[in-house]
Amino acid sequence: MGSHNKKNEVLRWIESNQEQLVELLRSMVKSRPVNGALSETENEKEVQKIVGQVIQDMGLCVNSVPVDLSQLEAYRGMPGFVTGYTDQIDFTERENVYTRIEGNNTGEKRSLMLVGHADVVPVENPEKWDYPPFEGQEAKGFLYGRGTVDMLGGIAGMLIAMKAIQENHVKLKGDIWFGSIVGEETGGTGMLAFSEFLRKEGIFADAAIMGEPTNLQLSLLCRGILWVDVEVYGKTGHLEVTQPHWSQGGVVSAIEKAFHLADAIEELNKDWESRPDKNHELLRLPCQAKLSKIQGGHHHSSYPDRCVLSYNLQVLPHETDENGLGTVTKREFEEYIAKVAASDPWMREHPPKVTWILEANCGEVPREHPFVDAFMRTAKEITPEITLTGSEFHTDNEWPQKLAGIPTVNFGPGNPALAHNDNERCSIWQLVEYTKIIACQCMDWCGYEEE
């Protein structure tokens, strides 16, 4: 009965302190932690100060792990360290922050790591928001703001769950580790640096929860991503003047050729829709090559001589090589582009250029891992409708498992479809439920003394 009462005390504390939870998330949003590689004026520095202050107020030690690319040379060319992209990113004053609630290491015990990224993507059109994107305004049962879903809400919930455990004097048997990570939105270099630190220091946890948005469902895997630019060439000339065929010195519209290529890539996507290697039982949608940007042309009265198509390709864990790279997918995409180009007389002589920009890895925790059933048992006490799922987007969950041996699931508040959106917003009810589940997971998995 003592055990049950102690858990109830923690749950009641979270209920009565939910405004503290909301205010913490609001302050994190207000700090404008836009990924430093995506902004000239903002980065994660201020939000990490807020995280550090909460940790300090709990009487815990605030530790930092810088992202030092010179210490990551062994991973050059791998996810998180893409040569020509990552090494152009400035990580000055952008440090990972971590701490530990130390258990008493008595009896049956296991350790748990709570981790997530502190950076958010920029806001391109603030005028399209119903509420200012960096104010954290509460309305209609939601907290509005960039990062409320992806994934400041997850970090805030983890911190308040830890505080609830501390405030109610729960005597844990195993350790709780917590990490707030930078640089996820540009490939995961922050998590690579943190995981390498864990490996070198011999810091281990029996399982980890990453607070990416899952709508309070337990996600056992994420997809990797490949960013690629396909540069298509043409031949310029006056747009308003009748031109001869290109073989006679005439013009070629690079944009028209690019559209032809884009149509062909849609045919590739149709093939991927039904292929087993591009699908997973926990995901609703297959991997696709999704067009994200088109850049072309230089003058209103000139034929465009260049057009760049930017694509995001998704990759599943079973498709990657021993280094976590999507080499098979890259090769298939390159060969397909070459095949399409070979069927067009102009592109056969002027083949498109394929440039890989970024690669972020993917990870999966087996359904049979003991943490999965343990997690579900605890979570169902609070949210009976919880189910297993997968994350259709990239998360940082592979590097902790690969380098530090820590199996990492995704579980967080917020609808992932609202991530990166105008009017990004997180349900306050979900935020509170999430915090309760995290606190109970810490207690049940790590073990605690009954009073």
Q: What is the CA radius of gyration of the chain?
A: 24
Cα-Cα end-to-end distance for the chain: 9
The amino acid at 190: G
Interatomic CA distance for residues 412 and 427, integer angstroms = 11
Percent helix, strand and coil across the chain, each rounded to 5?
40, 20, 40
Q: Is 30 exposed, middle or buried (0-12, 13-18, 19+ CB in 10 A)?
A: middle
The catalytically annotated residue of 44, 138, 175, 185 is 185
Is residue 119 among the annotated active site residues? yes
Q: 3-state class of 302 per DSSP?
A: strand
Is residue 185 among the annotated active site residues? yes
The amino acid at 11: L
The DSSP letter of residue 418 is G
Angle at 131 between CA 130 and CA 132, to 5 degrees: 130
CA dihedral over 98, 99, 100, 101, signed as positive or negative? negative
The catalytically annotated residue of 95, 119, 359, 396 is 119
CA 371 to chain centre: 22
Cis peptide before 58 (omega within 30 of 0): no
Contact criterion met (CB below 8 Å) for 182 and 67? yes
Using the structure block, give the residue that is written with the tokens 């972020």: 360
Q: Is 57 exposed, middle or buried (0-12, 13-18, 19+ CB in 10 A)?
A: exposed
The DSSP letter of residue 222 is E
Give the helix/strand (H/E) hosting 64. strand 63-66
CA distances from 289 to 29, 183, 359 (A): 32, 24, 14
Tokens at 128, concatenated:
């399209």
Residue numbers annotated as active site: 119, 185
